[in-house]
């Protein structure tokens, strides 16, 4: 019994010692403190900066074009890959004229919640972060610009750059302004300018942006960007991180094939041209059955254009006007409207094209020069086809009974009035022939009448 009790006491002592050791490991090192000293203030993760990843690469992705679902998906995948690969930071090299509001919100959410530091770099020289690009730039942990770049003009507009009217204008503007202010506050940037960029559509250069606190600094190159970013403290998921970018290797990331394809389709100019090519190809196939190639190519282009319209917000009134315009242009070919249907079709076509992407959900637009070129192409095609149709209707028939009348031939067997044994070689064929006068072999004759399998001819005057 005494031995069992002694073993029990020894086991309890070992257990207490192990618990104490474990607790000390979780508490960290213990420092001595005088009995009369005040208790130490509790530490928080935000108060103690710590070094970021010191061995991983720096991921780089280039966004050169509009902000659309393909770009949002690309950024989402790049952030996830950077976190998985232990990257020290992720650089987004940005040059954009703007884009879709929904895609912009998705990208901003990804940047604010990323577990890897994100540096947005407006570059190269001559680039700009316009409209939706302002929100993306403000959302980066660090923001930089190359010399000769601009940022701003984030005021929400319609598809053709016009001011949105009515209550919708106020709603969209207030939402965009609150979004820009929230991002600026979260990243410690100039909140006042962020609001002015939306409400007053201001635009500034890289030097002004750095001076006003819109971006952190101006970098002349990627290497200069890493040099100036090294040692800066950024907040990543409520933890303060000191960037260690010494000797970091920049690893570019490319869009997947699907993303590149969707990114190309999301260009409103490409989507518009695909639709026009599809409609023109199908029209040629319907008017000239059996050619096949225009119908196949037109069907593919039209389906791709419709897929693009799934990515882009469209104005259905504009789409209806385009369809109406094409219908009127086609009707002009078959109805004697003396050009009224054709002119009406051209007007409807141009107006519909200009209004096609006129929505409050984006600032994308079709290049007016492309619209005018497409309208001129359809108009010229309609005129040419109409001219050929009229010309073919006025031309003498070349086949059948009507095609024989007026044709010239040669007498191959003597023709005697009242006898049925005369023959004429005409139109590449031998015909039984009759005439009002006797005709000798070798004489040139012209067909004046066709009666079943017999023709009536007359002598041609000697030239």
DSSP string, 212-275: HTSSSEE-SSHHHHHHHHTT-EEEETTEEEE---TTPPEEE----HHHHHHHHHTSHHHHHHHH
CA–CA dist 175, 9 (Å, integer): 69
Please report which confidence band the pLDDT of residue 71 belongs to, taking 50, 70 and 90 as the band edges.
Answer: very high
- 9 pLDDT above the threshold of 70: no
Q: Tokens 């029990």 map to which residue?
A: 8
Phi, psi at residue 51, to the nearest 5°?
-70, 145
pLDDT score, position 442 = 87
For the four alpha carbons of 186, 187, 192 and 196, in that order, the dihedral sign comes to negative
Q: Is-contact 98 126, C-beta < 8 A?
A: no
- The neighbour count for residue 15, using CB atoms within 10 Å, is 10
Cα separation, 152 vs 122, whole angstroms: 12
**Interatomic CA distance for residues 100 and 136, integer angstroms:** 12
As a CATH number, domain 401-459 is 2.40.50.140
Query: What is the three-class DSSP state of 121?
Result: strand
- Segment (H or E) for 205: strand 203-205
The answer, yes or no, to whether the previous bond of 298 is cis (omega within 30 of 0) is: no
Q: Where along the chain do its domains lie? A: 50-256, 267-394, 401-459
Residues 265-317 pLDDT 10s: 888 888 888 888 887 788 778 767 777 888 889 889 888 888 877 777 777 78
pLDDT at 46 > cutoff 90: no
Count of CB atoms situated within 10 Å of the CB of 93: 20
CA atoms within 13 A of residue 82's CA, in its CB half-sphere: 30
| pLDDT the model gives residue 36 | 40
pLDDT of residue 184: 94
Q: What is the per-residue pLDDT for 35?
A: 36
Which burial class, exposed, middle or buried, applies to 272 when counting CB atoms under 10 A from its CB (0-12, 13-18, 19+)? buried
Average pLDDT over residues 117-126: 96
Calculate the alpha carbon distances from 333 to 286, 323, 338, 349, 387 in Å: 13, 16, 10, 16, 9
CB atoms within 10 A of CB 391: 9
**pLDDT digit string, tens, across residues 400-432:** 566 677 788 898 988 888 777 889 998 778 888
The predicted pLDDT at position 361 comes to 53
Tokens of 436: 């009002």
- Domain 50-256 top-level CATH class: alpha beta
| Residue 87 DSSP symbol | -
**Average per-residue pLDDT for the chain:** 79
Calculate what percentage of the chain has a pLDDT beyond 70: 77
Residue 196 predicted with pLDDT over 70 = yes
Query: What is the C-alpha to C-alpha distance for residues 5 and 418, in angstroms, rounded to an integer?
Result: 150
| Tokens representing residue 259 in the block | 């993303």
Are 50-256 and 401-459 the same fold in CATH? no
Q: What is the pLDDT of residues 132-167, one digit of tens each?
A: 999 999 999 999 999 999 999 876 554 444 444 444
The angle subtended at Cα 442 by Cα 440 and Cα 443, nearest 5°, is 65
DSSP state of 46: G
Say what the pLDDT of residue 15 is: 40
What confidence category does residue 121 fall into, taking pLDDT thresholds of 50, 70 and 90? very high
CB proximity list for 384: less than 8 A, separation 6 or greater: none
Structure tokens at 340: 């009224």
Kindly report the pTM of this predicted structure.
Answer: 0.64
Residue for token digits 């049925």?
420
Q: Which pLDDT does position 165 carry in this prediction?
A: 42
Tokens at 121, concatenated: 């770099």
CA distance between the termini of the chain: 150
Residue 122 near residue 128 (C-beta atoms within 8 A)? yes
Report the SS3 class of residue 28: coil
Cα 44 to Cα 41: distance, rounded to the nearest angstrom: 9
């Amino acid at each position: 019994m005494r031995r069992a009790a002694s073993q029990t006491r020894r086991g309890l002592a070992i257990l207490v010692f192990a618990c104490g050791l474990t607790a000390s490991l979780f508490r960290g090192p213990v420092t001595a403190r005088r009995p009369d000293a005040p208790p130490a203030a509790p530490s928080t993760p935000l108060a103690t900066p710590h070094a970021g990843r010191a061995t991983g690469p720096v991921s780089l992705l280039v966004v050169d074009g509009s902000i659309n679902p393909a770009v949002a998906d690309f950024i989402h995948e790049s952030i996830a890959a950077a976190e998985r690969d232990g990257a020290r930071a992720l650089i987004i090299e940005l040059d954009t004229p703007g884009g879709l509001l929904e895609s912009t919100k998705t990208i901003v959410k990804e940047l604010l919640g990323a577990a890897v530091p994100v540096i947005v770099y407006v570059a190269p020289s001559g680039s700009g972060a316009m409209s939706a690009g302002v929100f993306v730039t403000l959302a980066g942990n660090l923001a930089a610009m190359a010399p000769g770049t601009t940022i701003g003009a984030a005021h929400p507009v319609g598809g053709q750059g016009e001011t949105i009217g009515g209550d919708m204008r106020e709603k969209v503007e207030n939402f965009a302004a609150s979004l820009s202010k929230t991002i600026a506050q979260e990243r410690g940037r100039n909140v006042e300018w962020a609001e002015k960029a939306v409400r007053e559509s201001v635009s500034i250069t890289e030097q002004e942006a750095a001076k006003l606190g819109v971006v952190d600094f101006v970098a002349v190159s990627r290497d200069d960007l890493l040099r100036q970013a090294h040692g800066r403290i950024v907040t990543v998921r409520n933890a303060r991180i000191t960037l260690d970018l010494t000797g970091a290797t920049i690893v570019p990331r490319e869009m997947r094939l699907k993303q590149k394809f969707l990114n190309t389709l999301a260009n409103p100019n490409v989507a518009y041209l695909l639709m026009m090519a599809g409609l023109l190809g199908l029209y040629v196939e319907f008017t000239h059955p059996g050619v096949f190639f225009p119908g196949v190519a037109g069907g593919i282009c039209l389906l791709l254009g419709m897929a693009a319209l799934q990515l882009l917000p469209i104005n259905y009134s504009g789409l209806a006007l385009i369809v109406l315009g094409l219908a009127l242009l086609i009707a002009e070919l078959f109805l004697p409207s003396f050009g009224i249907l054709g002119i009406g079709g051209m007007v409807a076509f141009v107006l519909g094209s200009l209004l096609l992407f006129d929505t409050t959900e984006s600032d994308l637009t079709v290049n007016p020069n492309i619209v005018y070129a497409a309208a001129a192409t359809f108009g010229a095609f309609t005129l040419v086809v109409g001219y050929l149709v009229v010309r073919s209707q006025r031309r003498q028939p070349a086949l059948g009974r009507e095609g024989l009348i007026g044709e010239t031939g040669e007498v191959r067997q003597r023709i005697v009035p009242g006898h049925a044994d005369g023959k004429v070689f005409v139109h590449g064929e031998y015909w039984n022939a009759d005439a009002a006068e006797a005709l000798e072999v070798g004489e040139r004759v012209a067909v004046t009448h066709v009666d079943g399998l017999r023709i009536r001819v007359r002598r041609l005057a000697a030239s």
